[in-house]
């Protein structure tokens, strides 16, 4: 069965540095991958989507890469700020695309230290 | 735009009672709504998918008679936890998307914290 792995340990990073979060998956070939942000006690907020035929996607200070050979996505936040502290979830879209049911990873908690 | 609300934000109930959670898309028509459950420090687990006007599709292991889902309109879906027990205590989150297919992002509600005593 498909498996999604995100670093369960919290990532602590100094303000201003680039934070890099990893999402690895096995036994699956998703048509797309999404990244969400979740604050404590709140629902996730969509950040970025990258398709299987895209290598990289950017949005303001965010950058996502998608390596279908390595079965890995990297999520980067440049010039990180304390307000970026949250849990970040990756979610895999279905194989072949279409119907938008996604499967979520467990998330990585990011703490940006002032 | 694309705001999804949930009500209530938290609820405490006695074991054996039923609890209804509402999920509304406030500024768009949600063809599809999803219901998730999230336990502490765990991922969101999809419980069911509901399309307006049709029966919900439940994930494996989710009891459809216990978790009743109604998607009566394009802006409202409800989840009723029937005969709730302490093990049903969790964070329930709904999401909505305007399309049936494609790559539409999901817009999540703020979640409902259910505590069953």
Helix (H, G, I), strand (E, B) or coil at A82: helix
Q: Which helix (H) or strand (E) holds A74?
A: strand A72-77
For the CA atoms of B6, B12, B17, B20, what is the dihedral angle to 10 degrees? Answer: 0
What is the reported pLDDT for B6? 96
CB contact residues (below 8 A), chain A span 76-105, against chain B = 89, 93, 97-105
Q: Tell me whether residues A106 and B42 touch, CB distance under 8 A.
A: yes
B5 min Cα distance to partner chain A (Å)? 10
Whether the predicted pLDDT of A114 surpasses 90? yes
User: pLDDT averaged over chain B?
Assistant: 90
Q: Which of B91, B84, B86 is nearest to B39 (CA)?
A: B91
Find the residue in A nearest to B50 (Cα): A101
What is the reported pLDDT for A58? 96
When pLDDT is cut at 50, 70 and 90, the band that residue A24 belongs to is very high
Model pLDDT for residues B35-75, shown as the tens digit of each residue: 999 998 888 999 999 887 788 999 999 999 999 999 888 89
Contact list in B for residue A46 (CB cut-off 8 A) is 105-108
User: pLDDT averaged over chain A?
Assistant: 91
Model pLDDT for residues A93-103, shown as the tens digit of each residue: 877 655 567 88
When pLDDT is cut at 50, 70 and 90, the band that residue B83 belongs to is very high
- Separation CA B68–CA B74 (nearest Å): 17
Residue A12 Cα distances to A5, A22, A95, B40, angstroms:
19, 14, 33, 20
Task: Take residue B110 and report the two structure tokens written for it.
Answer: 């703020």
């Amino acid at each position: 069965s498909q498996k999604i792995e995100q670093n369960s340990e919290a990532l602590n990073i100094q303000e201003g540095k680039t934070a890099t979060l990893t999402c690895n998956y096995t036994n699956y070939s998703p048509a797309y991958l999404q990244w969400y942000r979740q604050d404590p006690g709140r629902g996730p907020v969509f950040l970025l989507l990258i398709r299987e035929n895209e290598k990289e996607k950017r949005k303001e200070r965010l950058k996502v890469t998608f390596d279908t050979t390595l079965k890995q996505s990297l999520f980067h936040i440049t010039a990180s700020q304390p307000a970026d502290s949250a849990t970040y979830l990756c979610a895999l879209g279905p194989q072949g695309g279409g119907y938008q049911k996604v499967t979520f990873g467990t998330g990585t908690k990011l703490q940006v230290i002032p | 735009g694309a705001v999804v609300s949930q009500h209530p934000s938290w609820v405490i109930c006695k074991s054996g009672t039923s609890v209804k959670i509402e999920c509304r898309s406030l500024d768009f028509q949600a063809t599809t709504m999803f219901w998730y459950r999230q336990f502490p420090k765990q991922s969101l687990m999809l419980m069911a998918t509901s399309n307006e006007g049709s029966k919900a599709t439940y994930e494996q292991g989710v009891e459809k008679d216990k978790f009743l889902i109604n998607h009566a309109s394009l802006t409202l879906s409800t989840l009723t936890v029937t005969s709730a027990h302490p093990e049903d205590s969790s964070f329930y989150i709904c999401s909505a998307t305007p399309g049936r297919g494609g790559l539409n992002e999901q817009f999540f509600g703020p979640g409902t914290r259910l505590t069953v005593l």
